[in-house]
Amino acid sequence: MNFRQLRNFVQVVELGSITAAAERLNIAQPALSRQIKSLEEELSADLLRRHGRGVMPTEEGIRLAMRAKIILEDVQDLAADISGHKTPLSGIVTLGLPPTVSEILATHLIERSMVEYPDVKLRIISGFSGHVQDWLLRGKIDLGVAYEGQKSASIKAQPILIEQLFLVEAAKENGAQDGLPIDARDALERPLILPNPEHGLRGRIEAIAQEAHSELNVVLEIDILPTMLAFVERGLGATILPLVSVLNHIRDGRLIARPIVRRTIDRTLILMTPLNRPGSRLITSFGKFVTDEVHGMVTSGQWPGTKL
């Protein structure tokens, strides 16, 4: 076993494909396959399972990849310490965000990462929380920020903040009540414009309604946030959203947001990292960077309606 074999094996696990890893490493696929076979024989263990789309590490393969990643980074750090030159973080990080989070966080993260990590290229893709979790499990993204929902044994979920949800209405309908609290039962029984039942926000609202023994009156189902707000602005119904999603509309006097009381409706934002793939110093550091930036935005008031 040598460093080259370990480095190449980690690349195979990260890409989920011997063919893709061979192309990335610029070596012949048969030669890479022989390296993997040699590792398996030396360790007396199956390290990879083949399937139609590539390969997946076994439990032994995951352990080897995680340990190998640590060993390789320790060697790199050791060389940097001896030479006196600390290697800056570099590479590509792909981050998944829900649409409502992307609205406030994407631009901020890109600008801050360009300053803090100039050698790191940040890619951001947006999708519902369930999609973000699926992308993470399939290796399409390195990190995911999503709202807490269905748990997975293959994902580590770290809570970042708790976001309060508000009843959002057209200003012309209730201008005198701007900012006044509303009882959860009254809010839930208003004519509502909500996302479809597969959306995590809808599931959270339905769960609260069930606990409150209230029957939702959903008049429209719309997944596109700007379209949803346009119909709310016309007075065709209210909606339930985090405050940050409607800040500009409130400042322009087009919508109002009312705190929901007696049964607060909130949801927890989490940072998700995969447990079925080896981590890296880059991903670990960037995960902490994302968490620290979100906490900074909450503390400074840039992310209103939230608490740590």
Same-domain check for residues 143 and 280: yes
Same-domain check for residues 260 and 282: no
Same-domain check for residues 178 and 260: yes
Among the residue ranges 6-15, 64-73, 167-176, 288-297, the one predicted with the least confidence is: 167-176
Q: Which residues pair with 96 in a beta bridge?
A: 125, 144
Residue at a domain's end among 83, 111, 139: 83
Q: Looking at the domain assignment, is residue 42 inside a domain?
A: yes
Residue 220 to residue 242: CA distance in whole angstroms: 19
Average pLDDT rounded to a whole number, residues 6-33: 91
Same-domain check for residues 130 and 182: no
The pLDDT, as a whole number, for residue 8 is 92
* pLDDT value at 47 more than 60: yes
pTM here is 0.69
If one counts every other C-beta atom within 10 angstroms of the C-beta of residue 79, the result is 11
CA 237 to the chain's CA centroid:
30
Residue at a domain's end among 83, 106, 139: 83
Burial class of residue 116, CB neighbours in 10 A (0-12, 13-18, 19+): middle
Same-domain check for residues 261 and 172: yes
For 162-219, how does the pLDDT look when each residue is reduced to its tens digit (9 = 90+)?
999 999 999 875 544 567 899 999 999 999 999 888 777 888 899 889 888 888 999 9
Residue 254 three-state SS? coil
For residue 191, give the nearest of 239, 233, 150 by alpha carbon.
239
Same-domain check for residues 40 and 136: no
Residue 265 to residue 278: CA distance in whole angstroms: 36
% of the chain beyond a pLDDT of 70: 94
Q: What is the CATH number of the domain that holds 73?
A: 1.10.10.10
For residue 125, give the nearest of 114, 109, 149 by alpha carbon.
109
Same-domain check for residues 188 and 252: yes
Same-domain check for residues 143 and 282: yes
| Phi, psi angles (nearest 5°) of residue 245 | -75, -15
Q: Looking at the domain assignment, is residue 157 inside a domain?
A: no
Average pLDDT rounded to a whole number, residues 212-240: 92
Q: Which residue range forms the structural domain that includes residue 112?
A: 91-148+275-307
Torsion of the alpha carbons at 293, 299, 304 and 308, rounded to the nearest 10: 80
Same-domain check for residues 173 and 263: yes
The pLDDT, as a whole number, for residue 198 is 77
Average pLDDT over the chain reads 87
Q: Looking at the domain assignment, is residue 193 inside a domain?
A: yes
The pLDDT, as a whole number, for residue 172 is 72
* CB-based contacts of 29, cutoff 8 Å, min separation 6: 18, 19, 22
Q: In the structure encoding, which two tokens stand for residue 277, read together?
A: 């793939």
Q: Looking at the domain assignment, is residue 66 inside a domain?
A: yes
Name the pairing type of β-strands 91-97 and 120-126. parallel
Q: Could you tell me what percentage of the chain is helix, strand and coil, using 3-state DSSP and rounding each to the nearest 5?
A: 50, 25, 25
Q: Looking at the domain assignment, is residue 153 inside a domain?
A: no
Q: What is the CATH number of the domain that holds 295?
A: 3.40.190.10
Question: Can you say whether residue 130 is alpha, beta or left, with left for phi > 0 and alpha for psi between -120 and 50 degrees?
Answer: alpha
The pLDDT, as a whole number, for residue 100 is 80
Average pLDDT rounded to a whole number, residues 49-55: 87
Same-domain check for residues 281 and 260: no
Average pLDDT rounded to a whole number, residues 242-264: 89
| Phi, psi angles (nearest 5°) of residue 88 | -70, 150
Residue 167 to residue 179: CA distance in whole angstroms: 10
Domain count, the chain: 3
The pLDDT, as a whole number, for residue 176 is 43
- In the chain, where does DSSP find H-type helix? 3-15, 18-25, 29-43, 59-83, 99-116, 129-137, 171-174, 184-188, 200-211, 225-233, 247-251, 281-299
Q: In the structure encoding, which two tokens stand for residue 111, read together?
A: 């600008």
Same-domain check for residues 107 and 79: no
For 67-107, how does the pLDDT look when each residue is reduced to its tens digit (9 = 90+)?
888 788 777 767 766 766 666 777 788 999 988 888 889 99
> Which amino acid is located at 243 in the chain?
L
Q: Looking at the domain assignment, is residue 154 inside a domain?
A: no
**Measured CA distances, 85 to 78, 88, 201 (Å):** 10, 9, 47
Instruction: Considering only the C-alpha atoms of the chain, give the largest distance between any 2 of them, rounded to a whole number of Å.
Output: 76
CA 46 to the chain's CA centroid:
32
Q: Looking at the domain assignment, is residue 155 inside a domain?
A: no
Same-domain check for residues 176 and 234: yes
The pLDDT, as a whole number, for residue 262 is 84
For 121-160, how does the pLDDT look when each residue is reduced to its tens digit (9 = 90+)?
899 999 888 889 988 888 888 899 998 877 788 899 999 9
Q: What is the CATH number of the domain that holds 176?
A: 3.40.190.290
Q: Looking at the domain assignment, is residue 156 inside a domain?
A: no
